[in-house]
Structure 1
Amino acid sequence: MKQKDSFQFSTGVIAYPLFFVLCIWIVFWFEVRFGYHFNKYGIYPKTLKGLRGVLFSPFIHGDIKHLYHNTIPLFVLSSALFYFYRPIAWKVLGYGILLSGILTWCIGRSSYHIGASGLIYVLVSFTFFKGVFAKHYRLIALSLVVVFLYGSMIWHTLPIEEGVSWEGHTAGLITGLLFALIFRKQIAKPKKYVWEDPDYNEDDDPFLKHFDENGNFIEQLEVEEEPEQETPTYNYIYKEDGVKSEK
C-alpha cells in the first residue's frame, strides 16, 4: 500500500461508515414499527439454513441497548479503517463479514447469533495487529488508541456472560489477525532516511560537505571563481557630420 494512497481524508471516510450504521438502525426501526422479528435470519451454526445469517446477522440486533453498544465502535473503527487503510477497506469489511460469520457458523452454539459485534472484533483485531506489523508511527499510535478504548473487549471472547455470542467475538478476533497477516505487504512503510540506504556514501552527501572532519560547520564553502570576462574596448571615429561611429 502506497503511503500516498492512505492517510487522506475524503467524504468516504465518514459517509461509508455512517451509511452502514444508518442501515442497521433502519432495520431495527422496521422491526419495531411493523412488529417483525428478524432474529431467525441470524447465524444458526451447523445448519444449511443458518448460513444465510452470515450476510444478514450484522444488521440484526436484539434490542436498543444491543444496537447502541455496537453503533459507536462500529462507526469509529470503520472510519479509522477508511482513513488509514482506504485501498483495502472494502476488502476488510466484506471478507470480514463473510469469514467471521462462517467461523461463527462452525464453532457456535445451537442458537441464533446476531449483531455487528463480530465485525467490530474484526476491526479491532485488524487495526491493532496491522499497526504492530507496520512499524509505522501513525499506525502504532492508532493501535495504542484502539487498545485504550476497546482493550477490555478481549474478555468477551470468553464464555463469561450468558446470552453473549463469545463465539462470534472470537471468530472476529481470529479473522482480524488473519487479515493483518494476509495484507501485510500492503502496509505503509516508514520513511527511510538517506543514510539508511545500503548504497549511501558519506563522501557524496552534499549536506556533510558543509562540515569539516571535526564536525565543525563551515560557514562558506570554497567556490572556484570564474575568470572575469574582459570588457571590450572600442575605438571611435567621427565622420564629417560629427556623428560618432565604432571601429
Structure 2
Amino acid sequence: MRSQPVRPLHAVVVMAVLLAGLWVLEGLDQLSGNALDSYGIHAREVDGLPEIFTAPLLHAGWEHLAGNSVPFFAFGLLVLLGGVARWAVSTLVSVVSSGLTAWLLTPAGTIVLGASGLIFGWLTYLLVRGLWSRRPGQVVLALVILFLYGGLLWGVLPGAAGISWQAHLGGAVGGVVAAWLLHRDDATRRRAEQLPAFYR
C-alpha cells in the first residue's frame, strides 16, 4: 500500500495534539467523578462492543496516562512518518484487534481502559514491517526499537493485577497483521521498479 510520507514537523504536531486530547479527556473524566470510564470496554457484554473504539482514549487516572504518554507519542510519530494512510490502517487494525481480544478474554464484569493496546500494535508494526518491505532503514529502526523497548513485549503475558495483558496481546497481533497487510507487496514492487522498462 502506497502512502505519502508526512513531514516530521507535521507529524510531531499531529501526535502532540492527539496526546493533548488524551490529557484533556482525563481531566474531564476526573472532574466528572470518572463518569467517562463507562465508555471503556465492558468485557463479554455484547452491547459494550462499540466501546472498543472509545476505550483507547480513556485512562484509569493520571499515573496510567503518564505511563502511556511517551510510547504513545513516540510510536505513533514513527508510524505517522510513513504516511497518513498507513498510520490510519495500522491504528484501526490494532484498536479493533486489541479491543476484541480484551472483550473476549477479560473476565466478565471488568472494564478495560487505556491506549496500551494501540501502543503495542504500533510497536509490533514497527518491529516487523521490515520483514516484508526489506527496507534497510526500517530494519535498522526495528532493531533500535527492539533494543530500547523490547522489554515491553513481556506485557502480552499475564502479569500484574490491573494490567490488561489481553489488550496488549490483541494489539500486538493487530500490529503484525497491519504490517503484513500494508507491506507484503513492498519488496516485489521495489524490485519491479528497479527493472529496466523492457523487463516490466
TM-score computed with the length of structure 1 as normaliser: 0.71
The structural deviation recorded for 1:169 is 0.3
The answer to whether the 8 Å contact 2:105/2:166 transfers is yes
Q: Is the 8 A contact 2:79 2:126 kept in 1?
A: yes
> Superposed, which structure 2 residues align to 1:123-134 within 5 Å?
123-134=122-133
2:143 is the counterpart of 1:144: yes
Counterpart residue type for residue 147 of structure 2: F
TM-superposed CA distance for 1:87, in Å, is 3.5
Per the alignment, residue 161 of structure 1 pairs with 160
Return 35-44 or 62-71, whichever deviates more: 35-44
CA distance 1:199–1:116, shift in 2 (3 Å): closer
Q: How many aligned positions are there?
A: 196
C-alpha deviation, 1:11, in angstroms: 4.2
Q: Which consecutive unaligned segments of at least 5 residues does structure 1 have? A: 201-247
Letter in 2 for 1:164: I
Larger helix fraction of residues? 2
- Partner Cα distance (1:24, 1:92) in 2: 19
User: What is the distance in 1 between the residues matched to 2:137 and 2:131?
Assistant: 11
Aligned partner of 1:177 in structure 2 is: 176
Task: Name the structure 2 match of 1:135.
Answer: 134
Task: Name the counterpart of 1:107.
Answer: 105
Supply the AA of the counterpart residue of 1:173. Answer: A
Quick one: which amino acid aligns to residue 107 of structure 2?
Answer: R
Deviation per residue, 1:197-217 (Å, 9 max, x gap): 5999xxxxxxxxxxxxxxxxx
Task: Tell me the residue number matched to 2:87.
Answer: 89
Return closer, same or farther for 1:34/1:47 CA change in 2, 3 Å cut-off. closer
Residues 92-101 or 170-179, more deviating = 92-101
Q: Once the 2 structures are TM-superposed, how far is the Cα of residue 191 of structure 1 from its aligned partner?
A: 6.8
2:186 partner SS: coil
After TM superposition, the structure 1 = structure 2 runs for residues 9-24 of structure 1, keeping only pairs within 5 Å, are 9-24=7-22
Stretches of 4+ aligned residues off by more than 6 angstroms: 188-192
Distance 1:169 1:146 in 2: 17
Cα shift at 1:66: 0.6
Name the CA distance, whole Å, in 2 between partners of 1:53 and 1:199.
50
Distance in structure 1 (CA, Å) of the matches to 2:9 and 2:188: 25
Are the aligned partners of 1:100 and 1:168 in contact in 2 as well (CA < 8 Å)? Answer: yes
Aligned CA distance change for structure 1 residues 81 and 89 (closer, same or farther; 3 Å)? same
Instruction: Point out the structure with max Rg over C-alpha.
Output: 1
Q: Is the contact between residue 37 and residue 58 of structure 2 (CA under 8 Å) also seen in structure 1?
A: yes
The answer as to whether partners of 2:98 and 2:166 remain within 8 angstroms in 1 is no
Q: Is the 8 A contact 2:90 2:179 kept in 1?
A: no
Length-normalised TM-score, structure 2:
0.86
Q: Structure 1: how far apart are the matches of 2:165 and 2:113?
A: 11
Cα RMSD of the aligned pairs, angstroms, is 2.6
> After the TM superposition, which residues 16-95 of structure 1 pair with which residues of structure 2 at under 5 Å, given as runs?
16-95=14-93
Verify the 8 A CA contact 2:132 2:185 in the aligned structure 1.
no
Cα offset, 1:17, TM superposition: 1.4
Q: Write the distance in 2 (CA, Å) between the matches of 1:2 and 1:153.
A: 29
| Distance change in 2, residues 1:57/1:189 (3 Å) | same
Matched position secondary structure for 2:69 = helix
1:155 positional shift? 1.1
* Residues in 2 aligned to 1:199 and 1:24: alpha-carbon distance in whole angstroms: 50
